Amino acid sequence: MWLHHGTDDGTRTLRKREHGGRSLPLPPLLDPVAVKAKSRYRDPKPLPSKLKEKTEFQRELEANPHAQALAMPVRQCALTNARLPAHFLLPLVSYIEPQAIDGGTVAATRPSKYAVVHLVPDLDLNIPRDLRSPARSYVLAQQHILEYFGSKRRWTQVVTERMKRWFALKTGRQWHSLKVQKEWKWDDATPENVLEKFRDEVVTRLVAAIEGIEVSIIRAGNMPRAANEVRAVGCFLRLKHHEHQYTGVDGLGASRRDLSDQGIRVYDLAYLLGEEDLARVVNITDLIDKGRGSWVMVPLSPRTVELQLQLLKLEAYLRNETA
């Protein structure tokens, strides 16, 4: 009769020899350890337990745009070396200009050594993946920073070594011989292009929120009462231009400082969007003609978080200070 025992690490089953010889492992088909190991990762996983209901604090965080902004991954500004959540930074990427072959534009997997490379903000770029660098740089998402880049070619400071190595690999050149000022290009219209992109995002989300009845249109006289009665007001948006955009009472019935003390932000859309984009919002949603008021009350809600994040980003981009 053979007696079985396992190895010290438990991976094999050995059988004792009848006459005291060296123990030999059982064949895999007969070894219970091996048979069990084969089926270990084939058995269906147990169904997940019922998700726990979110706590009141978790629901508040989910609806709070400031908490969502601070929860984003931390990145470092290549210009100031400040480490901030990605919400406050603008990603920059290098891309190789597609080459034209037989009258059409194609994405060449092996660009020539004469290829043109651009440094641009990574905002929904319609560029083939093989023509854009996987490496990114980050700078503060403020308009005056990008305008500062354009002066005296200071944007060359954010072209990283990883971008150079990627471009050299694509073109068959030595990365250390690349000259950023000679090889890379920067569009001086980038600050305006980014502003237009941020404004389009706000317009798109605001129109969707108004048409989806996720926000309320109110009159200026009702704002103090709404701020006191509604438990979670995220911000107020002014649809009509006012000459005193960020000072005094300007028709609110309560000062902006009082609303700020309650954690409620007030945005002047004529200042953020410009008259043209503001008129587009009003025309699309037909707000003022319906006589419902000239203010939009945005509640703290998971459905309005993206809108409030875009408003925060647009306001910060137009702010002419780094502090």
Please give the residue range of the domain that contains residue 172: 71-187
pLDDT at residue 321 in the model: 60
In this prediction, the residues of the chain whose per-residue pLDDT falls under 70 are 1-10, 43, 49-51, 99-113, 219-231, 240-262, 285-293, 321-323
SS3 160: coil
Which CATH number do you get for residue 201?
Answer: 3.30.1330
Largest CA-CA distance found in the chain, in angstroms, rounded: 104
- In this structure, are 172 and 103 located in the same domain? yes
SS3 303: coil
- In this structure, are 279 and 206 located in the same domain? yes
Q: Looking at the chain, how many residues does it have?
A: 323
- Helix residue ranges, H only, the chain: 32-40, 56-63, 65-70, 143-150, 161-171, 180-183, 190-211, 223-229, 256-261, 269-285, 305-318
- In this structure, are 202 and 152 located in the same domain? no
- In this structure, are 207 and 96 located in the same domain? no
Of the residues 167, 187, 207, the one at which a domain ends: 187
pLDDT at residue 253 in the model: 46
Residue 3 lies in a domain: no
* Model pTM score: 0.74
Structure tokens at 179: 């000259």
Strand runs labelled E in 70-189: 74-76, 83-85, 89-96, 99-101, 104-106, 117-121, 132-140, 184-185
Question: Residue 133: CA atoms inside 13 Å, Cβ hemisphere, count?
Answer: 28
Structure tokens at 100: 């034209």
Of the residues 154, 187, 220, the one at which a domain ends: 187
To 5 degrees, how large is the angle CA 125–CA 129–CA 131? 90
Backbone angles phi, psi at 218, to 5 degrees: -135, 170
Contacts of 76 (CB under 8 A, 6+ apart): 82, 83, 84, 138
Of the residues 125, 156, 187, the one at which a domain ends: 187
Q: What share of the chain is helix, strand, coil (3-state, %, to 5)?
A: 40, 20, 40
SS3 76: strand
How far, CA to CA in Å, does 272 sit from each of 83, 99, 110, 115, 294?
Answer: 26, 38, 43, 38, 16
pLDDT at residue 1 in the model: 44
What span, in angstroms and rounded, lies between the C-alpha atoms of 261 and 44?
Answer: 54
- In this structure, are 92 and 176 located in the same domain? yes
Residue 259 lies in a domain: yes
Residue 139 lies in a domain: yes
Which one-letter amino acid corresponds to residue 157?
Answer: Q
Residue 11 lies in a domain: no
What span, in angstroms and rounded, lies between the C-alpha atoms of 189 and 200?
Answer: 17
